[in-house]
């Protein structure tokens, strides 16, 4: 067996090469598989597995927050439950994946989730460069500032010389810097990696101001030692339209999510609520007839049943009900998020 | 070439070895090529390119005032991402160097206390080491940071450590800075000359001690030299320096109250907390290194020193520690390296070091992950190699000289 070492070496090297070549083949197979899944529509995939997989936040009261028993609530959660009700007629056929800001887009584009409903700001970069589509806006937010009432400050223009606490790695740092430069005011920024430390440092008095999205401020304020001793300044220094996101390239699924949101907003406008949806079935109003599937075949055109919107409203209620149940308790008035007919900017395309 | 030629080649040990080497090199090259081509393909798919152009772009975010921002006079909209990189490096270096110095001092003290005959010292050192070594550094960081924050008045109040000079509040530690007057250069030169002559006398004293056994009265000579230098300066230019007066503003707009930052050096609490935590944590490990080093010196050495009539302090300073150093230094090097690398945890409490501002804020704005992580790896690698090189040189110096 003089040749034994040689044989061993040849085997090892051959195996190594084989691994790499095999790796190449595996890649090709994976690509084919990916093409196959993309040719199978999201709706078919969702129906096949029997539930909607929904990406949510790791805990933002009012938007998506889990209680002690693991039940998720919030307006972002209601949207996912609404889509599940529209697809299956059962709002409980949904599973939630809590995601960090960093993970969220990767989770969606890799197919781990079907909808991303996680207080995500619609921006041009995200819409065009990440292979995603925003299906609408379910909350018009903006960056705001919170201060202790004891400072006696009533407007952001009085904040010259303030120390400001915020999170690193978001647009927040840039917005606040822009705002102070534009107003020719000086400030110092203390930027933490995680929201919990920002709250703790602000609570300890390290900063005069805490800045993030206004909905976030309202939610985080509940974690302060004495929430009533702080208030949010009236100024909004950026536009943050938050909405559900889906993968690009599946128009049917995109339409289902978009129109589920529209159905919730239209239902509020038409006065259809969770409790009266049954009696509304006999309404003479043609708009309500179309919404509830008594006229036309709008649901079938979406690839669903005609009573899709009725199921949705039965399960989660209209937009206003969802808002009142989850966001109003945070002390956030409807404001711009009121219906257009009530002086807000919420305006859903008609079902027609 | 027939089959017997081939088998002869296979059986030739020299050719076989060369063949194996060639194949191995080919494999390694192939691996790297595969890695790089795969990465660039995937980047292409994402519409991203590799390049360092972003370094000359302006950075649009504020950075907390630290040594780095002061050195490079950081200004939003004027400074570039390259400046952000340099500021990150300076701030990382600052805590690393300060931490190494403080951790060494505390580590040696605690290590010696651990072997003390005094039970109070010994148990204090034991408790210190076991407590700090076994609690995760990140927790200690949070502990120090929030303890510091919770125990201080906000920026409209202050605690005077040295009234009129050193004060502390939630914004940081405020120190006076020196203001130089004309004649400061002259004074500097005089002091330099004094220092050189003192060193010269010291060397002379040592050689005299070797020759005769009696040193010069070196402390008296040194004091004399410096007294003469100071006298000369005061007589010729007066005192060419004064300390700034940190001014505390108590009236006016509420947000402008507090220390006037133009009149004092401000050290932010994030920096203090990082420094505390890194120092105390690493010192616990260094203390154990020191203890093992001292225990490695044979007991006969101490007994011999006692027999010669040296005091405990002298025995420690002249006999035990110098011999212990050769056991202490190699593990000490890795503690220094650990401390430097652990400083990246500071991102959790908003100290603007390299990982926080460059890999955090800046990377989220420009999205050049590969380039930026490469640049950071270069920094940490350079720090570590330089520390190792210095410590190897020092280790070589403190090695036991065997005759």
Q: Which DSSP string corresponds to A255-310?
A: HHHHHHHHHHHHHHHHT--TTTHHHHTT---HHHHHHTTSSS-HHHHHTS-TTHHH
**Cβ–Cβ pairs < 8 A, chains A and B:** 103
CB contact (8 A) between residue B364 and residue A162: no
Q: What is the pLDDT of residue A11?
A: 53
Contacts of B61 in chain A (CB under 8 A): 173-174, 177, 189
Compute, in degrees rounded to 10, the torsion defined by CA atoms A20, A24, A25, A28.
160
Q: What is the pLDDT of residue B86?
A: 94
Model pLDDT for residues B369-391, shown as the tens digit of each residue: 788 889 999 999 999 999 999 98
CB contact (8 A) between residue B256 and residue A161: yes
pLDDT confidence bin for A1, thresholds 50/70/90: very low
Tell whether A102 lies on the interface with B, counting CB pairs under 8 A.
no
Contacts of A174 in chain B (CB under 8 A): 60-61, 365
pLDDT confidence bin for A248, thresholds 50/70/90: confident
Q: Which candidate from A174, A197, A205 shows the least CB-CB separation from B170?
A: A205
pLDDT confidence bin for A318, thresholds 50/70/90: very high
Residue bearing the bigger pLDDT, B136 or B240? B136
Complex ipTM over 0.85: no
Q: What is the pLDDT of residue A96?
A: 96
pLDDT confidence bin for B43, thresholds 50/70/90: confident
Give the 3-state secondary structure of residue B49: coil
Tell whether A191 lies on the interface with B, counting CB pairs under 8 A.
yes
Dihedral sign for Cα atoms in the order B156, B157, B159, B164: positive
Candidate ranges A260-264, B35-39, B332-336; pick with highest mean pLDDT: A260-264
**Does residue A7 surpass a pLDDT of 60?**
no
Query: In angstroms, rounded to a whole number, what is the distance separating the alpha carbons of residues B218 and B222?
Result: 6
- For residue B315, what are its two tokens? 């025995």
- Which structural domains are found in chain A, ordered by start? 43-140+241-342 (3.40.190.10), 143-238 (3.40.190.10)
Q: Which candidate from B62, B155, B349 shows the least CB-CB separation from A187?
A: B62
**Does residue B32 surpass a pLDDT of 90?**
yes
Residue bearing the bigger pLDDT, B229 or B213? B229
CB contact (8 A) between residue B23 and residue A3: no
Q: How far is B71 from chain A (nearest CA, A)?
A: 17
Cα angle for residues A158, A163, A169 (degrees, 5° grid):
115
Range scoring the smallest mean pLDDT among A135-139, A322-326, B24-28, B361-365: B361-365
CB contact (8 A) between residue A191 and residue B352: yes
Query: In angstroms, rounded to a whole number, what is the distance separating the alpha carbons of residues A42 and B73?
Result: 53
Looking at residues A96-102, what average pLDDT do you find? 85
Cα angle for residues A128, A138, A52 (degrees, 5° grid):
80
Q: Which residue has the tokens 């899944």?
A: A37
Q: Which candidate from B60, B170, B255 shows the least CB-CB separation from A159?
A: B255
Model pLDDT for residues B256-285, shown as the tens digit of each residue: 888 888 888 999 999 999 999 999 999 999
Contacts of A193 in chain B (CB under 8 A): 347-348, 350, 356, 360
Q: Which candidate from B16, B34, B61 shows the least CB-CB separation from A174?
A: B61
CB contact (8 A) between residue A161 and residue B30: no
Residue bearing the bigger pLDDT, A132 or B107? B107
Range scoring the smallest mean pLDDT among B118-127, B256-265, B285-294: B256-265
Q: What is the pLDDT of residue A29?
A: 42
């Amino acid at each position: 067996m003089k040749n034994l070492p040689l044989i061993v070496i040849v085997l090892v090297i051959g195996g190594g090469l084989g691994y790499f070549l095999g790796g190449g083949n595996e890649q090709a197979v994976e690509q084919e598989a990916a093409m196959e899944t993309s040719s199978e529509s999201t709706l078919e995939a969702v129906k096949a597995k029997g539930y909607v997989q929904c990406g949510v936040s790791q805990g933002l009261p009012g938007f998506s927050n889990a209680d002690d028993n693991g039940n998720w609530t919030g307006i972002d959660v209601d949207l996912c439950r609404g889509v599940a009700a529209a697809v299956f007629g059962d709002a409980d056929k949904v599973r939630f994946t809590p995601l960090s800001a960093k993970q969220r887009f990767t989770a969606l584009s890799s197919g781990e989730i079907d909808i991303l409903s996680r207080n995500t700001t619609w921006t041009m970069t995200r819409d065009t460069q990440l292979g995603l589509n925003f299906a609408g806006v379910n909350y018009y937010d903006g960056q705001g500032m919170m201060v202790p009432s004891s400072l006696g400050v009533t407007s952001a223009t009085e904040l010259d010389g303030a120390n400001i606490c915020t999170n690193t790695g978001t647009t927040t740092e840039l917005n606040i810097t822009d705002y102070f430069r534009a107003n020719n005011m000086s400030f110092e920024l203390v930027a933490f990696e995680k929201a919990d430390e920002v709250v703790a440092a602000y609570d300890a008095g390290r900063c005069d101001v805490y800045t993030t999205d206004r909905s976030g401020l309202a939610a985080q304020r509940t974690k302060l030692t004495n929430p009533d001793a702080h208030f949010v300044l009236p100024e909004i220094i950026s536009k943050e339209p938050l909405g559900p996101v889906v993968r690009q390239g599946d128009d049917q699924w995109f339409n289902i999510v978009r129109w589920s949101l529209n159905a919730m907003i239209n239902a509020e406008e038409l006065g259809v609520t969770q409790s009266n949806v049954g009696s509304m079935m006999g309404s003479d109003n043609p708009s309500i007839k179309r919404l509830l599937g008594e006229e036309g075949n709008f649901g079938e055109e979406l690839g669903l049943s005609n009573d899709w919107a009725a199921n949705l409203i039965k399960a989660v209620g209209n937009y206003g009900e969802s808002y009142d149940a989850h966001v109003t308790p945070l002390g956030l008035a409807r404001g711009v998020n009121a219906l257009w007919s009530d002086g807000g900017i919420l305006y859903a395309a008609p079902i027609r | 070439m027939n089959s017997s030629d081939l088998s002869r080649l296979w059986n030739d040990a020299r050719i076989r070895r060369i063949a194996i080497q060639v194949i191995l090199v080919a494999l390694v090259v192939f691996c790297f090529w595969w890695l790089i081509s795969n990465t660039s393909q995937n980047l292409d798919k994402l519409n991203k390119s590799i390049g360092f152009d972003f370094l000359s772009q302006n950075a649009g975010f504020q950075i907390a005032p630290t040594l780095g921002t002061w050195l490079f006079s950081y200004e939003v909209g004027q400074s570039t991402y390259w400046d952000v990189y340099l500021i990150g490096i300076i701030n990382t270096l600052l805590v690393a160097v300060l931490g190494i110095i403080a951790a060494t001092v505390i580590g040696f003290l605690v290590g010696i206390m651990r072997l003390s005959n005094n039970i109070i010292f010994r148990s204090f050192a034991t408790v210190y080491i076991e407590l700090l070594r076994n609690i995760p550094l990140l927790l200690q960081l949070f502990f120090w940071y929030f303890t510091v924050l919770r125990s201080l008045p906000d920026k409209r109040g202050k605690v005077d450590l040295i009234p009129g000079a050193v004060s502390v509040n939630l914004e940081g530690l405020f120190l006076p800075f020196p203001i130089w007057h004309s004649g400061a250069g002259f004074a500097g030169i005089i002091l330099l000359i004094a220092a050189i002559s003192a060193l010269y006398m010291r060397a002379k004293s040592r050689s005299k001690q070797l020759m005769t056994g009696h040193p010069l009265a070196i402390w008296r000579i040194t004091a004399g030299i410096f007294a003469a230098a100071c006298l000369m300066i005061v007589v010729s230019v007066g005192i060419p320096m004064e300390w700034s007066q940190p001014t505390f503003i108590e009236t006016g707009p509420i947000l402008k109250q507090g220390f006037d930052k133009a009149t004092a050096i401000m050290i932010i609490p994030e920096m203090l907390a990082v420094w505390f935590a890194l120092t105390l944590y690493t010192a616990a490990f260094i203390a154990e290194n020191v203890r093992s080093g001292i225990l490695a010196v044979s007991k006969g050495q101490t007994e011999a020193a006692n027999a010669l009539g040296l005091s405990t302090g002298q025995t420690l300073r002249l006999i035990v520690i110098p011999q212990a150093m050769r056991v202490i230094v190699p593990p000490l090097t890795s503690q220094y390296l650990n401390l430097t690398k652990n400083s990246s945890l500071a991102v959790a409490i908003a100290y603007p070091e390299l990982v926080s501002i460059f890999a955090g804020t800046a990377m989220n704005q420009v999205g050049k992950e590969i380039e930026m992580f490469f640049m950071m790896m270069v920094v940490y690698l350079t720090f570590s190699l330089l520390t190792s090189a210095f410590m190897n040189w020092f280790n070589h110096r403190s090695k036991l000289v065997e005759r």
